[in-house]
Amino acid sequence: MANKVQQYIDQLEKLDIKNMYENDFFLTWEKTDDEIAAIFAVADALRALREQNISTKIFDSGLGISIFRDNSTRTRFSFASACNLLGLEVADLDEKKSQIAHGETVRETATMISFMADVIGIRDDMYIGKGNAYMHEVVDSVTQAHNDGELEQKPTLVNLQCDIDHPTQSLADALHIIHELGGVENLKGKKLAMTWAYSPSYGKPLSVPQGIIGLLTRFGMDVVLAHPEGYEVMEDVVKVAEKNAAECGGKFTVTNDMKEAFKDADVVYPKSWAPFAAMEVRTDLYGKGDFDGIDKLEKELLKQNAEHMDWVVDDEMMKLTKNGLDTLYMHPLPADIQGISCEHGEVTAEVFDRARDSLYKEASNKPYVIAAMIFLAKQKDPVAALKTLLDAGKERQSFLEKK
Amino acid sequence: MANKVQQYIDQLEKLDIKNMYENDFFLTWEKTDDEIAAIFAVADALRALREQNISTKIFDSGLGISIFRDNSTRTRFSFASACNLLGLEVADLDEKKSQIAHGETVRETATMISFMADVIGIRDDMYIGKGNAYMHEVVDSVTQAHNDGELEQKPTLVNLQCDIDHPTQSLADALHIIHELGGVENLKGKKLAMTWAYSPSYGKPLSVPQGIIGLLTRFGMDVVLAHPEGYEVMEDVVKVAEKNAAECGGKFTVTNDMKEAFKDADVVYPKSWAPFAAMEVRTDLYGKGDFDGIDKLEKELLKQNAEHMDWVVDDEMMKLTKNGLDTLYMHPLPADIQGISCEHGEVTAEVFDRARDSLYKEASNKPYVIAAMIFLAKQKDPVAALKTLLDAGKERQSFLEKK
Amino acid sequence: MANKVQQYIDQLEKLDIKNMYENDFFLTWEKTDDEIAAIFAVADALRALREQNISTKIFDSGLGISIFRDNSTRTRFSFASACNLLGLEVADLDEKKSQIAHGETVRETATMISFMADVIGIRDDMYIGKGNAYMHEVVDSVTQAHNDGELEQKPTLVNLQCDIDHPTQSLADALHIIHELGGVENLKGKKLAMTWAYSPSYGKPLSVPQGIIGLLTRFGMDVVLAHPEGYEVMEDVVKVAEKNAAECGGKFTVTNDMKEAFKDADVVYPKSWAPFAAMEVRTDLYGKGDFDGIDKLEKELLKQNAEHMDWVVDDEMMKLTKNGLDTLYMHPLPADIQGISCEHGEVTAEVFDRARDSLYKEASNKPYVIAAMIFLAKQKDPVAALKTLLDAGKERQSFLEKK
């Protein structure tokens, strides 16, 4: 029964992950290959332990602080689940109920909420150049406060989505591909199409496509980024993807042709996003408080979107791929499903329904990925920690087996 | 000291409750008599354990998800209390903070919030034909997701009030009557008056009177439902009550005369509700987005209500009952108290004040009833589980007795 | 290693604190000197235990209810941290999501939320004559409900700020002064300047200056309260301060000259507040629903404030104090920092930045003070309880030291 967990522990044991302890998680490309592999191993180990009804609580008390600067269901519940799995209680900083509007500095707020915080999870993806910077400011603040003796512990940051990357999503996605293809070694040479798709809404975050091209290029895959002209992503991340591909013996190409991307793809990931350049403009307008300008920009972008309604995934498109209708279709959810949640959207109901089970499994990785990030930041010797949990075998739910 | 708990365990041991394990709780009349009796026994056992400062945590970690589609204080806190008592942390799905408005399906949301959910509690009582149906959709979704391997466990549904029934309320009410009358066997032949009462507000849920007539007719009681003409409840539930009465040797009658209902009653339960037919119209108007129509309907209903201001419980009315001013007066709270919270209302301050202690005890059953529902759904052998908790005798609050 | 904790236990052992058990915390001046000293000793002990990674959970389950009738970040997180540290889960009564607006009485709400509540923390500081009265009404209600058998336990009240006092703040402040001056015995004869300061906002609570003069006069300090004419605080609290000073061999004086207060001060505490008389008028206007009157009052008060922009703490002011720029500068945060959060404010950035570390340490005491209040109300023998925790040495975070 316990062999499955032991197998993940064995994987973990071979990795050099000493820098993860007491560290933070901002961007996947700031982490070594061993560190990325450790996230996968620990996520799978925690899931296997839970499936065997073995408790993985490593905290007797402690808080996981969440800050959501945008609406969220699945990331909110994933974070809550991960914290609960490890023994932390979630305390949400609802900025509407706080005094932050009183002109308080990030440094002060970060310190004030962290007196007993072991983790801080932040989602801040709305404005270019802001979200990741804000997370760094928070981490710098709590690090200094810890060094100055104001905080008993330095909480670990988990990036729950910023303007640059969405690491808990891209790692959950990558883990899903690994599970579906039967091992990380099987990703080498496989073609992944990260493509734009039409949505009737505008301004969807760039962090998903950026996260995918920044991470999946590391496994020797043939990653194609496809989007209409004008929907370019952040140039810095394109460079990361190019560098990764060069170093890993994979490929990274950009095209404006969705069909070309789909052609013979092993994995397709079609999803709407906003043009990076427009999001930069929007951030400037927001900074100036020019809400009329923002309204005007929104209308222009919706019009621009509408020119590309043909970027939709239907059965015809799927048939272009390597395994046709059976090819792995991915999405972070919720998707704009044509005829279900909108008239024209990212994907037809046929394609979506066929992929539903796989999509939900993809999503089910996120709580474990977040828990793995926390676990690795909080355990000096995660191998010993996992072994201890496995050997202790404390029931998560008690008395299950009694008759 | 522990005998009281043992006595409830002994009761439980005699019951056939094997179908409760891994099951859900929608409507009381979908449960067998043994299953209803098991809720009472476990609720009383959990309360007795807590009173003896014995921990009843059966979860080391896990989440209880709550979805409230209407404002709530007591049900919200009852659910939070029940989850906490068993070791679950509450995660509330605040639909305003979520992305559900983005046209996401129930199936998807239900799965996305349930990756580590052991329980889902839902209150959705606003629209006829919607609340209970929504709960079933949620349960079907998570069952499928569990079978498909997307959810590690299938969370148990607790109906925290739907358009048809309010089982946590009616069971808490029934348990109160049992305690007050000194045993369930003493309910046989007793007269209970479930009557409408005037309220200056409109549209109060029908699930309370429906829940009461659907449950209390099972114990051989003489249940009278009284309301002005036009305030009929859901016909299907009336049929349930009639069938129950026929099977249990009790009586179920409907009258438009409040005094007739109160005459010689052992228990009175006067409470405002909206006419079922009007609530059906309202649901249709809502479906069409006809808010002017809803406003118009509201005015008509308030006018209709105002014709029945004489449906108020005062001392004169109480004197008609079996034990006069001492007769058991029940209400789910908050009540519209004449002269306190409104000029004309459901009950006078005299009657309410005399009943206050009893009403608060009635309410105090709800957390234990909810905890019992969860306990019985999550423990294959609840008798062994309760014995183990009792024998372990782990303190809920530590060190209480040290000197 | 453990000696530090033992030292606080030794302090606690000498104190007569038998009345704290099962009691509440409203105002510091309702507590004996021994009881105040016990809060300090237990707060320091709990911090020392946490710093040694020793669990201080005294509850296996249980709820800490919070009611915030005003926005709050740091008090909200302090309460959540304190509850979590002791093993309680926070359940927040968000009055917007509740049915309290339906005219429900305080007595009823208090009972309904307390069925499994071990603690209730309330912040209600907005209206003169209301907040503290509300807290008493809550405590009277739950005491009666406990005596009447409706509540299994009587929850303990923690005053998280009322119209009269802000005990968790003033005790955290006092503990900071004790730490900074190297012991409570060193406060005797030291001069503390509690002074008004200019803020561009209006209506800041009086409970901070009132809490400070009501508490710090107990340690034989020379406490000076300084404010412009018209900014008098509540007369009853001035009398408390005078009485304390007389009994403890200290001094309490009031002046309208900020410089006089700063002259040779060992500690300065400059902070804006609203005139007590104006707040009384505001409460009356609010009671009458006269919102135009409130708007008018606000404008008058802002105009009145603006006449005192010179009440700002800059380096020149600090140089008047005993230790010049090194003198202990205190604030409950967030401060109105000139040039940072406002054009003219309470303090210059130079002074604030120099004091930042100290201010954050001051704030870090609050969770431990709240936890100490709960601990002392819930443990009959807190000395034995602390010893047991220390001897057990259960890890708060597990496996930290394994290699």
pLDDT at C173 over 60: yes
Cβ–Cβ of C111/B396 closer than 8 Å? no
> Chain C partners of A65 at a C-beta cutoff of 8 Å?
77
pLDDT for position B71 = 77
Most B CBs within 10 A among C108, C114, C156, C394, hence the mutation to make, goes to C108
Q: What is the pLDDT of residues A201-238, one digit of tens each?
A: 888 999 999 999 999 999 999 999 999 999 999 999 99
Domain ranges for chain A: 3-164+367-392, 169-362
Does residue C403 register a pLDDT over 70?
A: no
Give which of B76, B85, B89, B272 to mutate to test C binding, by max C Cβ within 10 Å.
B76
Where helices occur in A227-381 by DSSP H, the ranges are 235-248, 258-262, 276-288, 291-306, 315-319, 349-378
Tell me: the pLDDT tens digits for A183-207? 999 999 999 999 999 999 888 999 9
Both tokens of C226, joined, read 């300084």
Query: Which of helix, strand or coil describes residue A254?
Result: strand
Q: Is B123 in CB contact (< 8 Å) with chain C? A: no
Partners of chain C (3+ Cβ pairs below 8 A):
A, B
Q: What is the largest CA-CA distance in chain A?
A: 68
B300 contact C CB<8A: no
Choose the mutation target among B54, B360, B403 for the interface with C, i.e. most C CBs under 10 Å: B360
Query: How far is C305 from chain A, CA to nearest CA, in Å?
Result: 18
Q: Is C60 on the interface with B (CB under 8 A)?
A: yes
Q: Is the pLDDT of residue B30 over 70?
A: yes
At B40-56, the pLDDT tens digits run 999 999 999 999 999 99
Are C112 and B72 inside 8 Å of each other by CB?
A: no
Establish how many alpha carbons lie within 13 A of residue C168's alpha carbon, considering only the half-sphere containing its beta carbon: 30
Give the residue from C338, C362, C398, C400 with the most A CB atoms within 10 Å of its CB, the best one to mutate. C398
Q: What is the pTM of this model?
A: 0.96
Instruction: Give tens-digit pLDDT for C190-238.
Output: 999 999 999 998 889 999 999 999 999 999 999 999 999 999 999 999 9
User: pLDDT tens, C352-376?
Assistant: 999 999 999 999 999 999 999 999 9
Rounded to an integer, what distance in angstroms lies between the CA atom of residue C116 and that of residue C90?
Answer: 11
Q: Confirm or reject contact between B76 and chain C (CB < 8 A).
A: yes
CA distance B346 to B349: 10
Superfamily for domain range C169-362: Aspartate/ornithine carbamoyltransferase (3.40.50.1370)
Assigned CATH for A3-164+367-392: 3.40.50.1370
Distances (CA, A) of B325 to A196, B186, B262, B337: 73, 20, 12, 17
Q: Is the link from the previous residue into A334 a cis peptide, with omega within 30 of 0?
A: yes
Per-residue pLDDT for A285 more than 70? yes
> Is the bond leading into C334 cis (omega within 30 degrees of zero)?
yes
- The 10 Å Cβ neighbour count of residue A342 is 17
B360 contacts in C (CB within 8 Å)?
A: 108, 111-112, 145, 148, 150
Neighbours of chain B (3+ CB pairs under 8 A): A, C
Indicate if the pLDDT at residue C98 is higher than 60: no
SS (H, E, C) A107-164: HHHHHHCCCCEEEEEEECCCCCCCHHHHHHHHHHHHHHHHHCCCCCCCCEEEECCCCC
- Which of the listed CATH numbers 3.30.70.3040, 3.30.70.100, 3.40.470.10, 3.40.50.1370 matches domain B3-164+366-392? 3.40.50.1370
Strands lying side by side in the sheet with A222-226? A251-255, A222-226, A191-195, A267-270, A328-329
How distant is the Cα of A396 from the closest Cα of chain B, in angstroms? 5
Report the C-alpha gap between B375 and B50 in whole angstroms.
15
% chain B with pLDDT above 90: 88
CB of C61 within 8 Å of any CB in chain A? Answer: no
Residues of chain B numbered 206-225 and touching chain C (CB < 8 Å): none
**Mean pLDDT (chain C, rounded):** 94
Residue numbers in B near A201 (CB within 8 A): 102
- Whether C90 has its CB under 8 Å from any CB of chain B: the answer is no
Is the torsion defined by CA of B45, B48, B54, B59 positive or negative? Answer: positive
C199 and chain A: CB distance < 8 Å anywhere?
no
**What is the C-alpha to C-alpha distance for residues C292 and C304, in angstroms, rounded to an integer?**
18
Distance of alpha carbon B125 from alpha carbon B127, whole angstroms: 6
Contact A97 C399 (CB under 8 A): no
Q: How far, in Å, CA of A186 to CA of B85, rounded?
A: 47
Of A397, A399, A401, the CB nearest to B62: A397
Q: Is the pLDDT of residue A97 over 70?
A: no
**Phi-psi category of residue B166: left, alpha or beta, with phi > 0 → left and psi -120 to 50 → alpha:** beta
Contacts of B74 in chain C (CB under 8 A): 99, 112-113
Q: Does residue B71 belong to the interface with chain C, where contact is any CB pair within 8 Å?
A: yes
Asked whether the domain spanning A169-362 has the same topology as the one spanning A3-164+367-392, the reply is yes
Residues of C in contact with A388 (CB under 8 A): 398-399, 402
Closest alpha carbon within chain B to A49: B152
Question: Is the model's pLDDT at A100 over the cut of 60?
Answer: no
Q: Which two tokens stand for residue A186?
A: 């099987």
B323 touches chain A (CB under 8 A): no
Interface membership of C94 toward B (CB under 8 Å): no
DSSP letter assigned to residue B307: T
Cis, peptide link before residue B228, omega less than 30° from 0: no
Measure CB to CB from residue B60 to each of A51, A55, A72 and give the nearest one.
A55
* Separation between Cα atoms, residue A202 and residue A308, nearest integer Å: 13
Contact B60 A90 (CB under 8 A): no
Asked if B115 lies within 8 A of A364 by C-beta distance, the reply is yes
Neighbouring C-beta atoms of residue C148, cutoff 10 Å? 14
Residue B323 has pLDDT above 90, yes or no: yes
Which residue does chain A place closest to B65, by CA atoms? A77
Task: Please provide the DSSP assignment of B340-395 as one string.
Answer: TTBSS-SEEHHHHHHHHHHHHHHHHHHHHHHHHHHHHHH-SSHHHHHHHHHHH--B
- Looking at residue C202, its pLDDT comes to 80
Nearest to A104 by CA among C172, C340, C208: C340
Average per-residue pLDDT for chain A: 94
Chain segment A331-344, per-residue pLDDT in tens: 999 999 998 889 99
Phi then psi for residue B224, to 5 deg, are: -115, 125
Residue A361 in contact with partner chain B when CB distance is under 8 A: yes
- Among partner residues C89, C97, C109, which is closest to B84 by beta-carbon distance? C89
pLDDT at A23: 98
Residues B240, B214: contact at Cβ < 8 Å?
yes
Query: What is A321-356 written as a DSSP string?
Result: STTGGGSEE---S---EETTTBSS-SEEHHHHHHHH
Residue with tokens 């970690």: B61
Look at C150 and B47 and tell me if their CB atoms are within 8 Å. Answer: no
Q: Does residue A236 belong to the interface with chain B, where contact is any CB pair within 8 Å?
A: no
